[in-house]
């Protein structure tokens, strides 16, 4: 993130100086700015939350509203500054973080027209992702990439899984609707499907639950089924993570093709070949 | 699926043309047909669902019924067409998808005699599996095969697991029935077993829950047990998926056709042939 | 099981013939006996269960009682026969299955003195484990051994885990007891610990749940903690199963020490050595 | 633990003798002391728990109080002894176990001033960790280290995961608050976030649950999301445990001390030394 955005760093002047502070976290100034920003974000999310707690609103309502306005003012200025000091404002405005930064200030202004929209300010929570910039950035990005690579690689398996689960849940919901009926809380098929999801995911609120013996028998089968089904996504992700991990740990020896050569080995543990030398020779042979 | 069904493709004429549209998804016409079909299926499942929501039924009941009849008519024509244009109608009628296609139209007709049977139309949800045909088919089938292979290979372990869980649940249910008794909702042993399943699978509706100190103590042990037990199917599936995945780590020996040759092996572990040499010789022989 | 028990097979006579039928499942007679036995066990467990459903008891109470007595009679005869026809009756009587066979008939007789003890007859469910004998025995025993080996190997890790969970649950329970107090259902520390277990295992009955803001905040942390903790036993079992599995799949080449040699390989896939020859030579060298 | 603390063992005298008993578990005396201590700890935790069960308190309140005082007296003496007999009392007082030992006696004394603080005595449960000392120590410490190493290595991935979950939960909570509102139990955003956590972790108390169709639809998506999300920490821990386990698959090169040498390697991947030759030479040099 940091390395990518430096491409848009102004060559000189006050904009360059501010760019270092606002977009980067390597200088003391940049770090301080990011820490203050995070505290303000946390503080503003907390303000929005507390505003919905009735007894707090009655007592401190106007104070909270004032804080919200001041913070929104600050975030608005910050957003405009970000647009000004980069050489490619359009790029920032359309980036993931740019869109979130905008969404994090709009609701306050909309609240003039639609009361209640200010609750959407909790979207500011997403801005907390910036925390990774202050901490050792590269390491976290690496971990996040391992996670998202594992997720990406399993997308076909997960699609197969999700379509199957949707079909299963629809049919279970219908059967329970026919068995239990509206008199036991299974008012309609959509509501029965909601129950089936609540059960299969082992959430189990208990707001709707089968009352008849047959319904409870079917429900038992569904639960044990859910027991087995929950193992599937876990298995998928485990396998993919293992693979993503292994890619970082081993390479293949160019001579004996031993695929369990540690990634940073100079000599193959199987045949003892000096790997760098071998590859240089190979290249010179080609030439 | 696609590749298999092409064997039953008529040699020529209008039936061949229609076969391409209805059974396949490679031509623009075939793709369009499948997309329209999926939308109609989704739409018809939705219609059946909404019919059970009382306030919608009162308002739009007759409209929904009409839509249901039109869609069932369309699906009936589609089913008959499928039978006509393939060279082996019996093969289709008895295939998995063929049976589902039939089950997806019958309930409307049965509803003449048994009111309520039309809810079974949600079985149409299973027809959505056709979605894989439109998307990149082979990839999804590959993933589905990995999943189902993993499931198939773990069937013995899962049988052992299931029989054990059934026995455990029966005994826990009996003990809780004796400890808590009908006055705390544990009316009968079957109901207590239902409670044991609800607890062991961590669903936990709370419609029945132990009230006595002893009952709660036993329940605590059951829950912690369930904690450990839930790890077992997960472990089974993980291991099997890893193995199914690993199938990609093996190749087949070009000489003895041993399919468990490690992907990076120089010598076949079955016949000892030097694989690279053998393949080079083969190629030079061809030339 | 089968192979072990044949050691106690009488040499000849009617006892030998009956031994084949009752203890073994390889002959048609033995298979038939085991299938009939399993059906009777299932039937008797069902009878005991139904006896506790009040409306069934009122209607068919005496019939069910009669069935129970007949079946117990049959099982008693079977138990005595098993003792007579083996050459080592003590060995059987003290074996796992022998104890269960005895426990499965005693409660009916005790019910003369203590009403209600007959519910314990559901212990017969454990006799269903015999089902593995009818199905392809060896394969199931193999799978059961993989499962139990994985369990056995992880016993130290699981002990560490369990002691930690017990300590955590005690402290969480105490804190919630102090925060919520008896007026919100947290009557005593043991009950609060029960709540902590219900929450940490994600069962979540909802019979007791925090009402104060602070209590709900702490509960949220506990739940997210439980989220992470549930991963631990799963991870433990997965790793152990993987190891137990791998032991069955690979051996180490005696020459190049490549540890990924398929278990049934004749030639090492890494160095091409004929493994059997190599080992014979080695042994002859030693001699 | 044991090996480390021996450094602080007095050279001679009665303090050395007592050190062996109190700090160590290798001699019969030391083992006996630890077993008695564990029993007393368990007993005292039980006493504190029972004191909160109202009907027991009424009957045996004064007895329980007396037991608590006697046990606290014993633990106080033990704590002072521990300080006296070690050569570095400060080291012990500030160690993890030392702090817990102190926290386990203070609440009784504080209870003079603040009634109710004595419940905190359940912190004594943490002292049960000493149990590992009596059992085969090293093995358990090894397992605990594998577990905690796996935990430590996954801390970056878990941080990424936790920040994401916090952001997701905040936004879901806000949406549900706006959809359902205070009339369905979603009183405030913090309470809605509490609901989101209860749902995403599949605990599902059911004290708050969505009532509107839209709310139930969103909740269904959240649950299925939670289904997928729960796979992530499991996957993380599995992978890390696998890696921690694999540490057993590596040895250290005798020449360059590279600790990532595969256990069956012939040549060190770092310095290329032929390991067997090197070790033979070393041995012949010694001889």
Give the angle D161-D163-D164 at the CA atoms, nearest 5°.
65
Token pair for residue D9? Answer: 């063992």
Identify from A50, A125, A247 which residue to disrupt to test chain D contact, counting D C-beta atoms within 10 A and taking the largest count. A125
Q: Enter the tokens of residue C22.
A: 């009752």
Name the least confident of A230-239, B134-143, D62-71, D80-89.
B134-143
Q: From chain C, pick out residues whose CB is under 8 angstroms from the CB of B161.
A: 147
CB-based contact B166 C240, cutoff 8 Å: no
Mean pLDDT of chain C: 78
- Token pair recorded at residue A27: 């200088």
Distances (CA, A) of A231 to A195, B194, B233: 20, 22, 6
Indicate the residue of B202, B206, B234 with minimum beta-carbon distance to D206. Answer: B206
Sorted by sequence, the CB contacts under 8 Å of residue D12 that are 6+ apart come out as none
Could you tell me if C146 and C138 are in contact, meaning their C-beta atoms sit under 8 angstroms apart?
no
The whole-number pLDDT of residue A2 equals: 42
| pLDDT less than 70: residues of chain B | 1-7, 115-117, 129-147, 151, 243-253, 256-266, 268-272, 286-287
Tally Cβ neighbours within 10 Å of residue C14: 9
Global ipTM: 0.76
> Which pLDDT band holds residue A247 (cuts at 50, 70, 90)?
low
* Cβ pair A260, D249 in contact under 8 A: no
The reported pLDDT for the residue numbered A85 is: 87
- B200 touches B220 (CB < 8 A): no
- Considering only CB atoms, which chain C residues are within 8 Å of B236? 241
The whole-angstrom separation of Cα A216 and Cα D105 is: 50
Q: Which residues in chain A touch residue C202, judged by CB atoms under 8 angstroms apart?
A: 202
CA dist C152 and C236 (Å) reads 11
* Partner residue opposite B147 with nearest CB, options A157, A166, A203: A157
The contacts of residue D32 (CB under 8 Å, 6+ apart) are none
Nearest CB to A270 within list C206, C234, C270: C270
Of residues D272 and D43, more confidently modeled: D43
Partners of A202 on chain C (C-beta within 8 Å) are 202
Q: Closest by alpha carbon to A211, among B180, B193, B169, B207? A: B207
Contact call for B267 and C265, based on CB within 8 A:
no
The pLDDT value given to residue B2: 42
Strands D250-251 and C261-262: unpaired
In which region does residue D69 sit, left (phi positive, over 0), alpha (psi from -120 to 50) or beta (all else)?
Answer: alpha
**Per-residue model confidence as pLDDT tens digits over A105-135:** 888 888 777 766 667 777 777 777 666 655 5
* Sign (positive or negative) of CA dihedral A259, A264, A269, A273: positive
Q: How far does the CA of residue D262 sit from the closest CA of chain A (Å)? A: 7
Residue B218's pLDDT is 92
- Are residues D167 and D151 in contact, defined by beta-carbon separation less than 8 angstroms? no
Residue D94: partners with Cβ closer than 8 Å, 6 or more residues away: none
pTM: 0.79
Q: Are C178 and C143 in contact (CB under 8 A)?
A: no
Given this model, what pLDDT does residue A56 score? 86
Query: Which residues on adjacent β-strands are paired with residue B274?
Result: B267
Cross-strand bridge partners of residue D251: D261
Main-chain phi, psi angles of B188, to 5 degrees: -150, 170
Q: Which pLDDT score, from 0 to 100, does residue C129 have? A: 65
Q: Are the beta carbons of B206 and D205 separated by less than 8 Å?
A: yes
Residue D5 has pLDDT above 60, yes or no: no
Q: How many residues does chain B have?
A: 287
E strand segments, chain A:
250-251, 261-262
Beta partners for A267?
A: A274
Domains and CATH numbers, chain D: 3-136 (1.20.120.350), 143-246 (1.10.287.70), 252-287 (no CATH)
> What is the DSSP annotation of B138-191?
HHHHHHHHHHHHHHHHTHHHHHHHHHHHHHHHHHHHHHHHHHH-GGGT--SHHH
- Which of D144, D233, D245 faces C227 most closely, judged by CB atoms? D233
Indicate yes or no: CB of B270 within 8 angstroms of CB of C267: yes
Name the DSSP letter for residue B254. Answer: T
CA distance C235 to B196: 25
End-to-end CA distance of chain C: 39
Summarize pLDDT for D82-138 with one digit per residue, the tens: 888 888 888 888 887 788 888 888 888 887 777 666 777 777 777 776 666 555 555
3-state secondary structure of C215: helix
Please give the residue of chain A at the shortest CA–CA distance from B115: A178
DSSP C126-178: GGGGGHHHHS-HHHHHHHHHHHHHHHHHTHHHHHHHHHHHHHHHHHHHHHHHH
**Beta carbons of D140 and D147 less than 8 angstroms apart:** no
Q: How would you class A57 by CB atoms within 10 Å of its CB: exposed for 0-12, middle for 13-18, buried for 19 or more?
A: middle
| Chain B residues lying within 8 Å of A167, measured CB to CB | 125-126, 128-129
Q: Which of D122, D158, D234 sits opposite C189 (nearest CB)?
A: D122
Nearest CA in chain C to D195: C220
Q: What is the pLDDT of residues C96-155, one digit of tens each?
A: 778 888 888 888 888 777 766 677 777 777 777 666 655 555 555 666 666 677 777 777
Q: Do D206 and B202 touch (CB under 8 A)?
A: no
**CA nearest B24: which of B45, B7, B12?**
B7
Spans in chain C with pLDDT lower than 70: 1-7, 115-117, 129-147, 244-253, 256-265, 268-272, 286-287
Rounded to 10 deg, the angle between the A28-51 and D189-200 helix axes is 100
Query: Is A266:D271 a contact under the CB 8 Å cutoff?
Result: yes
């Amino acid at each position: 993130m940091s390395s990518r955005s430096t491409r848009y760093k102004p060559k000189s002047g006050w904009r360059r100086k501010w760019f270092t502070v606002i977009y980067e976290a390597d200088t003391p100034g940049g770090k301080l700015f990011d820490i203050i920003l995070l505290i303000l974000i946390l503080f503003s999310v907390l303000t929005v939350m507390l505003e919905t707690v009735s007894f707090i609103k009655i007592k401190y309502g106007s104070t909270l509203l004032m804080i919200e306005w001041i913070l929104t003012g600050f975030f608005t200025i910050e957003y405009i500054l970000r647009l000004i000091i980069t050489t490619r404002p359009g790029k920032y405005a359309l980036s993931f973080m740019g869109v979130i930064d905008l969404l994090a200030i709009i609701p306050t202004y909309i609240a003039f027209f639609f009361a209640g929209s200010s609750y959407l300010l909790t979207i500011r929570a997403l801005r907390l992702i910036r925390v990774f910039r202050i901490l050792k950035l590269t390491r976290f990005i690496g971990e996040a990439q391992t996670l998202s690579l594992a997720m990406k690689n399993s997308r076909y398996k997960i699609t197969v899984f999700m379509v199957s689960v949707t079909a299963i849940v629809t049919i279970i919901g219908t059967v329970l609707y026919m068995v239990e009926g509206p008199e036991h809380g299974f008012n309609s098929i959509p509501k029965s499907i909601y129950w089936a999801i609540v059960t299969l995911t082992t959430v189990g609120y208990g707001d709707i639950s089968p009352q008849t013996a047959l319904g409870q028998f079917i429900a038992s089968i569904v639960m044990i089924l859910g027991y087995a089904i929950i193992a599937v996504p876990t298995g998928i992700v485990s396998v993919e993570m293992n693979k993503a991990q292994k890619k970082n740990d081993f390479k293949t020896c160019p001579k004996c093709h031993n695929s369990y050569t540690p990634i940073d080995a100079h000599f193959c543990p199987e045949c003892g070949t000096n790997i760098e030398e071998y590859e240089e020779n190979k290249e010179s042979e080609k030439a």
